[in-house]
Structure 1
Amino acid sequence: MKEIEVIITREQNRERLDKLLLPVEADWSRTQIQNLMKQELILVNGEAVKSNYKASEGDVITIKIPDPEVYDIEAEDLQLEIVYEDADVAVINKPKGMVVHPAPGHLTGTLVNGLMHQIKDLSGINGIMRPGIVHRIDKDTSGLLMVAKNDKAHQSLVDQLVAKSVTRKYTALVHGHIAHDKGTVDAPIGRDTRDRQSMNVVDKGKHAVTHFEVRERFGAYTLVECRLETGRTHQIRVHMKFIGHPLVGDPKYGQKKTMDIGGQALHAGVLGFIHPSSGEYLEFEVPLPEPFEQLLSELKKN
């Protein structure tokens, strides 16, 4: 169990403790902090307090963070679509609705469960919960992912992501009529200060750039191709919302009145990278899933 000690400063005086402790761990939410307080794993001057406690200058906050649970991840026959595979890498066409790797609440039915059944060797750099996983796409985003089969290949692919040399193109249906044919969104992305479970454009966020090009217009909707220069969490969803064109069907960043299509209309259709061993540039493309194509057909009719 990890233990952290925080001493309250004059500037933090009278702030609610559950809000004040958010920056201590990057992925914490206020609910998680409140749960730790209920379990008496967060103490103020050695004593348990309620979640609405307001800190005083000089308070000593002791935080005990439980060790993460270790899970047995089982191989499952999920009949993943393997677009390409060799001794070093594989490229998978992930279906919409599938989580990439196991986590509490999603221990089965993930891409990793399927990979463990269909692919003999997977890299171990990311640990037992994320074997082979180099990058992710959201649960309700469909499309291409590259998978590493050994640690050397894994590091090569990660280095390419850092160098921004990987080609990643997405098709997205957004709300509104985009008048100009192409554009670039260059706006930093970080945790939303009002909702720790969401991302937003924030001044102190990480550098994020999305290039987009209009493919077709349907009156109140626009079909765009987005090319990622960086790969921040929910980047396309956040950036398109930022410019006033949120993704259709997006439950987190979309309009209140949007189509109920089981999640955002977003598909990772093109993926290109340099092969870790041969040095050859490989590029793969998969068509839109049938429901996405059907949605576009309906829009054309109307």
Structure 2
Amino acid sequence: MTHPVHKFSSLARPVEPQYPTNLAVLILLPLIAISLFVWLVMNDSAMVEAGKTALLGMLAAFLAWALGREMDPDHNATGFIALGLTVLAVGLGYSLDLLSLAALLFAVRVINRTVGPPARLGDLVTLVLLCLGAAIVDNAWWMPLLGALALAIDEYFERSSLPQRLAIPALFAIGLITLFLGGYADFAALETLVRGWVVAVVVITVLVAINIPNTDEIHSKMDALDTPCDRRRVQIGMAMILMAGVASVLGGQASLTGALAIWAVLAASLAGRNITLEKSADD
């Protein structure tokens, strides 16, 4: 269903409460913030710090749910499982990279076109800024490269606007500049990886990689158009999420745990297809 915001953005997907699963998310988010706050205070966190973490945790949970909806448009359960796993990670004390998560969400929407129309100028500016923030704040130098790849893939499917074509080399340059000037080119951070985490990453990666080609035709319709999402685009969007998760390993253990919301989405996709919830056309 088209929304007034689609006049200005082709990547924004408002959460419409008339859909039961969307209403459930709107109810869950404040409960998540309150629960995290109480949990953190009970575990001796300062009130201000607990409040900040609870709010950031709520945002991470929402972004994980939204990314889960992009990973698996036909199965709402994937988003909810990702949301739950993300809340668990925050509750266990992990600090998540929100800018990387948001940048990935926008990059995937560029590819899979769950809204429908191509990215607008404001969308491209937002994506570039999010990728720049991810590279600088989260040290995720690979995110601008993935953003450039997402735009290039969309260009392959359908000739895009001049701003989008200009954004591709700009993002590529940001990624390379951050890689070399940030001192990450020696990949020394790989030495900090913990073996058990690497095993889990390998298992999830292999299973998701097997799952992607087996994706059925997509029944979910684009938000602003009355046509189903393109299966090939959605599959490539899934692969983009997987690439982001794998890329996080390049930053070492801190980067890997910072990307736990992305891994939550990937893990959730393995179970989400087997759980049926009421379908929601929007998120």
Q: What is the TM-score with the length of structure 1 in the denominator? A: 0.27
Q: Which has the larger radius of gyration?
A: 1
Higher helix share: 2
Q: What is the TM-score with the length of structure 2 in the denominator? A: 0.28
* Structure with higher RCO (Cα < 8 A, 6+ apart): 2
